[in-house]
Structure 1
Amino acid sequence: MSGGLEIEIPRGERGRIRVFSLSMSKDEAENLELGRALGKAPDDPSRVEVFPVSNLEGLGLAGYLIEGCGVAESQIAPDRSRLDALDGHVMLLFSRAFPEGDVTLHPEPALTLIGTYDEVRPAPPSAPVESQSAAPYTGAPKPSPRDTRAASRRAGALFFVLVMLLVVVVAVLVL
Protein backbone atom coordinates (compact mmCIF):
# COMPACT_ATOMS: atom_id res chain seq x y z
CA MET A 1 0.00 0.00 0.00
CA SER A 2 1.12 3.46 -0.75
CA GLY A 3 0.41 6.53 1.33
CA GLY A 4 -0.91 8.38 -1.75
CA LEU A 5 -4.17 8.13 -3.62
CA GLU A 6 -7.16 6.30 -2.13
CA ILE A 7 -10.09 5.32 -4.31
CA GLU A 8 -13.41 4.41 -2.74
CA ILE A 9 -15.77 2.08 -4.57
CA PRO A 10 -19.01 2.28 -2.57
CA ARG A 11 -21.53 -0.53 -2.19
CA GLY A 12 -23.98 -0.52 -5.07
CA GLU A 13 -21.76 1.36 -7.52
CA ARG A 14 -22.53 0.33 -11.07
CA GLY A 15 -21.50 1.57 -14.48
CA ARG A 16 -18.37 3.57 -13.64
CA ILE A 17 -15.05 3.30 -15.44
CA ARG A 18 -11.80 4.56 -13.96
CA VAL A 19 -9.04 5.22 -16.48
CA PHE A 20 -5.43 4.93 -15.33
CA SER A 21 -2.22 5.70 -17.17
CA LEU A 22 0.51 3.14 -16.40
CA SER A 23 4.03 4.54 -15.94
CA MET A 24 5.92 1.31 -16.43
CA SER A 25 7.64 -0.77 -19.05
CA LYS A 26 5.74 -2.80 -21.60
CA ASP A 27 6.75 -6.02 -19.85
CA GLU A 28 5.62 -4.75 -16.43
CA ALA A 29 2.28 -3.58 -17.84
CA GLU A 30 1.63 -6.84 -19.68
CA ASN A 31 2.40 -8.85 -16.51
CA LEU A 32 0.70 -6.48 -14.09
CA GLU A 33 -0.36 -8.09 -10.83
CA LEU A 34 -3.68 -6.33 -10.18
CA GLY A 35 -3.80 -7.04 -6.45
CA ARG A 36 -0.42 -5.40 -5.92
CA ALA A 37 -1.05 -2.54 -8.34
CA LEU A 38 -4.46 -1.60 -6.93
CA GLY A 39 -3.86 -2.50 -3.30
CA LYS A 40 -6.60 -5.15 -3.52
CA ALA A 41 -7.20 -7.87 -6.07
CA PRO A 42 -10.46 -7.46 -8.01
CA ASP A 43 -13.22 -10.00 -7.40
CA ASP A 44 -13.74 -10.20 -11.17
CA PRO A 45 -10.44 -9.58 -13.01
CA SER A 46 -12.24 -9.84 -16.36
CA ARG A 47 -13.63 -6.38 -15.56
CA VAL A 48 -10.17 -4.82 -15.74
CA GLU A 49 -8.59 -4.04 -19.11
CA VAL A 50 -4.87 -3.36 -19.50
CA PHE A 51 -3.69 -2.59 -23.03
CA PRO A 52 -1.35 -0.38 -25.04
CA VAL A 53 -3.02 2.78 -26.34
CA SER A 54 -1.41 2.04 -29.72
CA ASN A 55 -3.99 -0.77 -30.12
CA LEU A 56 -6.61 1.93 -30.57
CA GLU A 57 -5.02 3.52 -33.64
CA GLY A 58 -7.63 5.44 -35.60
CA LEU A 59 -10.14 5.37 -32.75
CA GLY A 60 -8.12 6.70 -29.85
CA LEU A 61 -8.80 6.19 -26.16
CA ALA A 62 -11.56 8.82 -26.11
CA GLY A 63 -13.27 7.10 -29.05
CA TYR A 64 -12.92 3.71 -27.38
CA LEU A 65 -14.55 4.99 -24.20
CA ILE A 66 -17.43 6.46 -26.21
CA GLU A 67 -17.91 3.73 -28.82
CA GLY A 68 -16.67 0.67 -26.96
CA CYS A 69 -17.65 1.40 -23.37
CA GLY A 70 -20.76 3.51 -23.77
CA VAL A 71 -19.55 6.70 -22.10
CA ALA A 72 -21.39 9.86 -23.16
CA GLU A 73 -19.35 12.10 -25.43
CA SER A 74 -20.22 15.08 -23.21
CA GLN A 75 -18.34 13.42 -20.31
CA ILE A 76 -15.29 12.76 -22.46
CA ALA A 77 -15.17 16.21 -24.09
CA PRO A 78 -13.34 18.02 -21.23
CA ASP A 79 -10.64 15.29 -21.09
CA ARG A 80 -10.48 14.37 -24.80
CA SER A 81 -7.09 15.99 -25.50
CA ARG A 82 -5.58 14.47 -22.36
CA LEU A 83 -6.96 11.01 -23.17
CA ASP A 84 -5.80 11.14 -26.78
CA ALA A 85 -2.33 12.34 -25.72
CA LEU A 86 -1.70 9.23 -23.59
CA ASP A 87 0.79 6.69 -24.84
CA GLY A 88 2.12 3.46 -23.43
CA HIS A 89 -0.32 1.29 -21.50
CA VAL A 90 -3.60 2.20 -19.83
CA MET A 91 -5.87 0.37 -17.44
CA LEU A 92 -9.66 0.57 -17.42
CA LEU A 93 -11.14 -0.43 -14.08
CA PHE A 94 -14.87 -1.12 -14.27
CA SER A 95 -16.87 -0.91 -11.03
CA ARG A 96 -18.10 -4.46 -11.75
CA ALA A 97 -14.58 -5.64 -10.90
CA PHE A 98 -15.72 -5.21 -7.28
CA PRO A 99 -19.42 -6.17 -7.46
CA GLU A 100 -19.98 -5.99 -3.71
CA GLY A 101 -18.43 -2.54 -3.39
CA ASP A 102 -17.33 -1.03 -0.08
CA VAL A 103 -13.72 -1.25 -1.26
CA THR A 104 -10.86 1.16 -0.74
CA LEU A 105 -8.08 0.90 -3.31
CA HIS A 106 -4.55 2.16 -2.78
CA PRO A 107 -3.05 2.23 -6.29
CA GLU A 108 0.72 2.15 -6.52
CA PRO A 109 2.42 5.36 -7.71
CA ALA A 110 2.94 3.95 -11.22
CA LEU A 111 -0.85 4.17 -11.74
CA THR A 112 -2.14 7.67 -12.47
CA LEU A 113 -5.89 8.18 -12.34
CA ILE A 114 -6.82 10.10 -15.49
CA GLY A 115 -10.57 10.22 -14.98
CA THR A 116 -13.73 8.48 -13.86
CA TYR A 117 -16.58 8.15 -16.32
CA ASP A 118 -20.13 6.80 -16.22
CA GLU A 119 -21.49 4.37 -18.75
CA VAL A 120 -24.71 5.61 -20.33
CA ARG A 121 -27.66 3.64 -19.05
CA PRO A 122 -30.68 3.16 -21.27
CA ALA A 123 -33.69 5.19 -20.21
CA PRO A 124 -36.48 3.14 -18.68
CA PRO A 125 -39.63 2.83 -20.76
CA SER A 126 -41.78 5.94 -20.40
CA ALA A 127 -45.10 4.20 -19.81
CA PRO A 128 -46.31 0.62 -19.82
CA VAL A 129 -48.03 -0.59 -22.97
CA GLU A 130 -51.74 -0.94 -22.29
CA SER A 131 -53.18 -2.67 -25.32
CA GLN A 132 -55.13 -5.91 -25.22
CA SER A 133 -52.41 -7.74 -27.13
CA ALA A 134 -49.83 -6.70 -24.50
CA ALA A 135 -51.92 -8.11 -21.66
CA PRO A 136 -50.74 -11.41 -20.22
CA TYR A 137 -52.61 -14.59 -21.13
CA THR A 138 -54.49 -13.16 -24.09
CA GLY A 139 -55.82 -15.44 -26.78
CA ALA A 140 -57.36 -18.88 -26.49
CA PRO A 141 -55.90 -21.00 -23.73
CA LYS A 142 -54.09 -24.09 -24.89
CA PRO A 143 -55.75 -27.27 -23.61
CA SER A 144 -53.75 -29.46 -21.31
CA PRO A 145 -52.50 -32.85 -22.58
CA ARG A 146 -55.04 -34.58 -20.32
CA ASP A 147 -57.93 -32.61 -21.87
CA THR A 148 -56.61 -33.39 -25.37
CA ARG A 149 -56.49 -37.14 -24.61
CA ALA A 150 -60.02 -37.07 -23.14
CA ALA A 151 -61.39 -35.31 -26.25
CA SER A 152 -59.64 -37.88 -28.48
CA ARG A 153 -61.19 -40.75 -26.47
CA ARG A 154 -64.69 -39.23 -26.77
CA ALA A 155 -64.27 -38.77 -30.54
CA GLY A 156 -63.01 -42.35 -30.87
CA ALA A 157 -65.90 -43.73 -28.83
CA LEU A 158 -68.45 -41.79 -30.91
CA PHE A 159 -66.87 -43.07 -34.13
CA PHE A 160 -66.97 -46.65 -32.77
CA VAL A 161 -70.67 -46.33 -31.83
CA LEU A 162 -71.55 -44.96 -35.28
CA VAL A 163 -69.69 -47.79 -37.04
CA MET A 164 -71.40 -50.39 -34.82
CA LEU A 165 -74.84 -48.86 -35.54
CA LEU A 166 -74.07 -48.97 -39.25
CA VAL A 167 -73.09 -52.66 -38.94
CA VAL A 168 -76.33 -53.43 -37.06
CA VAL A 169 -78.45 -51.57 -39.63
CA VAL A 170 -76.79 -53.43 -42.51
CA ALA A 171 -77.19 -56.77 -40.67
CA VAL A 172 -80.93 -56.13 -40.08
CA LEU A 173 -81.48 -55.16 -43.72
CA VAL A 174 -79.63 -58.20 -45.01
CA LEU A 175 -81.56 -60.66 -42.85
Structure 2
Amino acid sequence: MSDRMDIRESDAGIVRVFHLDLPPEAIERFTVQAGTGEWPLLYGLGAKKLSASFIDVVRIRDLEDMPLTSYLHQAHGIPEDQLRDNAGQLNRLRGHVLILPSQAFAHTAQSLTIRTPLRWVGTFQEIRPTRAKAPLRSKSARGSIGGGRASARSGPGLPIVKLALAAMATVVILGIAAVYLAGG
Protein backbone atom coordinates (compact mmCIF):
# COMPACT_ATOMS: atom_id res chain seq x y z
CA MET A 1 0.00 0.00 0.00
CA SER A 2 1.26 3.51 -0.76
CA ASP A 3 0.17 7.08 -0.08
CA ARG A 4 0.60 9.90 -2.59
CA MET A 5 1.70 13.33 -1.48
CA ASP A 6 2.48 16.39 -3.60
CA ILE A 7 5.28 18.72 -2.56
CA ARG A 8 5.28 22.22 -4.04
CA GLU A 9 8.49 24.09 -4.81
CA SER A 10 7.17 26.94 -2.66
CA ASP A 11 6.38 24.74 0.38
CA ALA A 12 7.47 26.48 3.56
CA GLY A 13 6.71 25.88 7.21
CA ILE A 14 5.25 22.41 6.69
CA VAL A 15 6.41 19.43 8.75
CA ARG A 16 5.60 15.88 7.68
CA VAL A 17 5.91 13.02 10.17
CA PHE A 18 6.37 9.36 9.21
CA HIS A 19 6.72 6.21 11.28
CA LEU A 20 9.62 3.95 10.29
CA ASP A 21 8.67 0.30 10.60
CA LEU A 22 12.18 -1.15 10.68
CA PRO A 23 14.32 -2.89 13.29
CA PRO A 24 16.75 -0.49 15.04
CA GLU A 25 19.78 -1.96 13.28
CA ALA A 26 18.32 -1.12 9.84
CA ILE A 27 17.41 2.54 10.51
CA GLU A 28 20.76 4.10 9.63
CA ARG A 29 21.16 2.10 6.43
CA PHE A 30 17.69 3.19 5.34
CA THR A 31 17.93 6.88 6.28
CA VAL A 32 21.55 7.78 5.46
CA GLN A 33 22.72 8.13 1.88
CA ALA A 34 25.54 5.71 1.11
CA GLY A 35 28.79 6.82 -0.48
CA THR A 36 27.68 4.98 -3.62
CA GLY A 37 24.63 7.26 -3.87
CA GLU A 38 22.21 4.55 -2.80
CA TRP A 39 19.57 5.99 -0.49
CA PRO A 40 16.65 3.74 0.46
CA LEU A 41 14.82 6.66 2.11
CA LEU A 42 14.70 8.50 -1.21
CA TYR A 43 13.18 5.41 -2.83
CA GLY A 44 10.78 4.77 0.07
CA LEU A 45 9.42 8.29 -0.29
CA GLY A 46 9.43 8.11 -4.07
CA ALA A 47 11.21 11.48 -3.95
CA LYS A 48 13.29 13.11 -6.67
CA LYS A 49 15.44 15.13 -4.30
CA LEU A 50 16.09 15.37 -0.55
CA SER A 51 18.39 17.52 1.54
CA ALA A 52 19.95 15.23 4.15
CA SER A 53 20.81 18.08 6.52
CA PHE A 54 17.12 18.72 7.24
CA ILE A 55 16.08 15.11 7.87
CA ASP A 56 15.31 14.35 11.52
CA VAL A 57 15.23 10.68 12.54
CA VAL A 58 14.10 10.28 16.14
CA ARG A 59 14.35 7.15 18.23
CA ILE A 60 11.30 7.48 20.48
CA ARG A 61 13.10 5.81 23.39
CA ASP A 62 15.72 8.61 23.32
CA LEU A 63 13.00 11.11 24.23
CA GLU A 64 12.70 9.32 27.60
CA ASP A 65 9.75 10.92 29.44
CA MET A 66 9.09 13.55 26.77
CA PRO A 67 6.06 12.76 24.60
CA LEU A 68 6.60 12.96 20.83
CA THR A 69 4.08 15.82 20.69
CA SER A 70 6.28 17.89 23.05
CA TYR A 71 9.32 17.16 20.91
CA LEU A 72 7.48 18.22 17.74
CA HIS A 73 6.37 21.42 19.45
CA GLN A 74 9.75 22.31 20.93
CA ALA A 75 12.11 21.13 18.19
CA HIS A 76 10.00 21.84 15.10
CA GLY A 77 7.77 24.71 16.20
CA ILE A 78 4.45 22.96 15.64
CA PRO A 79 1.70 24.65 17.66
CA GLU A 80 0.31 22.50 20.48
CA ASP A 81 -3.27 22.98 19.27
CA GLN A 82 -2.39 21.29 15.95
CA LEU A 83 -0.85 18.35 17.78
CA ARG A 84 -3.72 17.97 20.25
CA ASP A 85 -6.03 16.14 17.79
CA ASN A 86 -3.31 13.58 16.94
CA ALA A 87 -1.66 13.42 20.38
CA GLY A 88 -2.89 9.91 21.18
CA GLN A 89 -1.65 8.45 17.90
CA LEU A 90 1.67 10.34 17.98
CA ASN A 91 2.47 9.56 21.60
CA ARG A 92 1.72 5.83 21.17
CA LEU A 93 4.32 5.43 18.41
CA ARG A 94 7.30 3.21 19.19
CA GLY A 95 10.58 2.67 17.41
CA HIS A 96 11.65 5.50 15.11
CA VAL A 97 9.96 8.44 13.41
CA LEU A 98 11.11 10.45 10.43
CA ILE A 99 10.41 14.17 10.55
CA LEU A 100 10.69 16.09 7.28
CA PRO A 101 10.31 19.87 7.33
CA SER A 102 9.73 21.65 4.01
CA GLN A 103 13.46 22.35 3.64
CA ALA A 104 14.13 18.60 3.42
CA PHE A 105 12.65 18.63 -0.10
CA ALA A 106 15.24 21.17 -1.31
CA HIS A 107 12.62 23.53 -2.80
CA THR A 108 11.90 20.93 -5.47
CA ALA A 109 8.36 20.24 -6.67
CA GLN A 110 7.76 16.50 -6.55
CA SER A 111 5.09 13.89 -6.07
CA LEU A 112 5.88 11.41 -3.34
CA THR A 113 4.68 7.84 -3.29
CA ILE A 114 5.11 6.66 0.29
CA ARG A 115 5.98 2.98 0.57
CA THR A 116 6.70 0.50 3.34
CA PRO A 117 8.59 0.73 5.69
CA LEU A 118 7.36 4.33 5.87
CA ARG A 119 3.89 5.17 7.13
CA TRP A 120 2.66 8.76 7.01
CA VAL A 121 1.43 9.90 10.42
CA GLY A 122 0.61 13.57 9.91
CA THR A 123 1.36 16.89 8.27
CA PHE A 124 1.60 20.02 10.42
CA GLN A 125 2.19 23.73 9.98
CA GLU A 126 5.05 25.38 11.89
CA ILE A 127 4.39 28.49 13.97
CA ARG A 128 4.76 31.50 11.73
CA PRO A 129 6.65 34.43 13.18
CA THR A 130 4.54 37.50 13.80
CA ARG A 131 5.40 40.63 11.90
CA ALA A 132 6.05 43.95 13.55
CA LYS A 133 2.82 45.95 13.55
CA ALA A 134 4.45 49.38 13.20
CA PRO A 135 7.62 50.35 11.37
CA LEU A 136 10.72 50.93 13.48
CA ARG A 137 11.40 54.64 13.98
CA SER A 138 14.68 54.80 15.92
CA LYS A 139 17.77 56.53 14.46
CA SER A 140 19.56 53.19 14.15
CA ALA A 141 16.65 51.73 12.18
CA ARG A 142 17.10 54.46 9.54
CA GLY A 143 20.75 53.54 8.86
CA SER A 144 21.91 52.16 5.55
CA ILE A 145 23.50 48.85 4.74
CA GLY A 146 26.75 48.89 2.75
CA GLY A 147 27.49 50.81 -0.40
CA GLY A 148 27.45 54.22 1.31
CA ARG A 149 30.38 56.30 2.52
CA ALA A 150 31.34 55.88 6.15
CA SER A 151 30.53 58.86 8.32
CA ALA A 152 33.12 60.52 10.54
CA ARG A 153 31.38 58.90 13.53
CA SER A 154 31.73 55.36 12.16
CA GLY A 155 35.14 54.79 13.72
CA PRO A 156 38.69 54.46 12.44
CA GLY A 157 39.27 53.47 8.86
CA LEU A 158 40.97 50.26 7.82
CA PRO A 159 44.48 51.80 7.37
CA ILE A 160 44.52 53.09 10.95
CA VAL A 161 43.44 49.70 12.28
CA LYS A 162 46.22 48.01 10.29
CA LEU A 163 48.80 50.45 11.68
CA ALA A 164 47.62 49.87 15.24
CA LEU A 165 47.83 46.09 14.81
CA ALA A 166 51.31 46.35 13.29
CA ALA A 167 52.47 48.54 16.20
CA MET A 168 51.11 46.05 18.75
CA ALA A 169 52.78 43.15 16.96
CA THR A 170 56.10 45.04 16.97
CA VAL A 171 55.86 45.69 20.72
CA VAL A 172 55.14 42.00 21.38
CA ILE A 173 58.06 40.87 19.22
CA LEU A 174 60.45 43.35 20.87
CA GLY A 175 59.28 42.19 24.31
CA ILE A 176 59.90 38.54 23.45
CA ALA A 177 63.34 39.40 22.00
CA ALA A 178 64.28 41.37 25.16
CA VAL A 179 63.30 38.46 27.43
CA TYR A 180 65.28 36.03 25.27
CA LEU A 181 68.40 38.23 25.18
CA ALA A 182 68.28 38.94 28.94
CA GLY A 183 68.00 35.26 29.77
CA GLY A 184 70.50 33.96 27.27
Which bin holds the TM-score, normalised by the shorter protein? 0.7 to 0.9
Q: In the superposition, relative to structure 1, how do residues 18 and 49 fare at CA in structure 2: closer, same or farther (>3 Å)?
A: same
C-alpha distance in 2 between matches for 1:143 and 1:21 = 58
Query: What is the aligned partner in structure 2 of residue 100 from structure 1?
Result: 107
Contact 1:17 1:94 in 2 (8 A): yes
CA pair 128-51 structure 1, distance change in 2 beyond 3 A: same
1:141 correspondence with 2:174? no
Contact 2:42 2:50 in 1 (8 A): no
Cα separation, partners in 2 of 1:114 and 1:131, compared to 1, 3 Å: same
From 32, 51, 58, the equivalent of 1:51 is 58
AA partner of residue 62 (structure 2): N
Equivalent residues of 1:17, 1:93 under 8 A apart: yes
C-alpha distance 20-121 of structure 1, shift in aligned 2 (>3 A):
same
**Is the 2:49–2:106 contact (alpha carbons within 8 Å) kept by the matching residues of 1?**
no
Residue by residue over 1:61-97, the C-alpha shift from the partner in whole angstroms, topping out at 9 and shown as x without a partner, is 1010011111100100001111110001111011101
Q: How far, CA to CA, are the matches of 1:106 and 1:133 in structure 2?
A: 51
What number of residue pairs does the alignment pair up? 143
Do the aligned partners of residues 127 and 27 (structure 1) sit closer, same or farther apart at CA in structure 2, a change above 3 Å counting?
same
Tell me the amino acid that sits aligned with residue 44 of structure 1: S
TM-score under structure 2 normalisation?
0.69
Unpaired runs of at least 5, structure 2: 31-39, 145-149, 158-184
Alpha carbons of structure 1 residues 27 and 42: separation in structure 2 relative to 1, 3 Å: farther
Change (3 A) 1:135 1:56: same
CA RMSD of aligned residues (A): 2.5
| Distance apart, 1:123 and its partner CA | 0.5
Structure 1 residue 41 displacement after superposition: 5.3
Among 13, 20, 35, the alignment partner of 1:15 is 13
TM-score by length of 1: 0.72
Q: In structure 1, how many angstroms separate the alpha carbons of the residues matched to 2:142 and 2:109?
A: 41
Unaligned 5+ residue runs, structure 1? 147-175
Q: Which amino acid aligns with 2:124?
A: Y
Rate the CA distance shift 1:141–1:51 in 2: closer, same or farther, 3 A.
closer
Larger Rg: 1
Moved over 4 A (4+): 143-146
Q: 1:63 aligns with which of 65, 70, 85?
A: 70
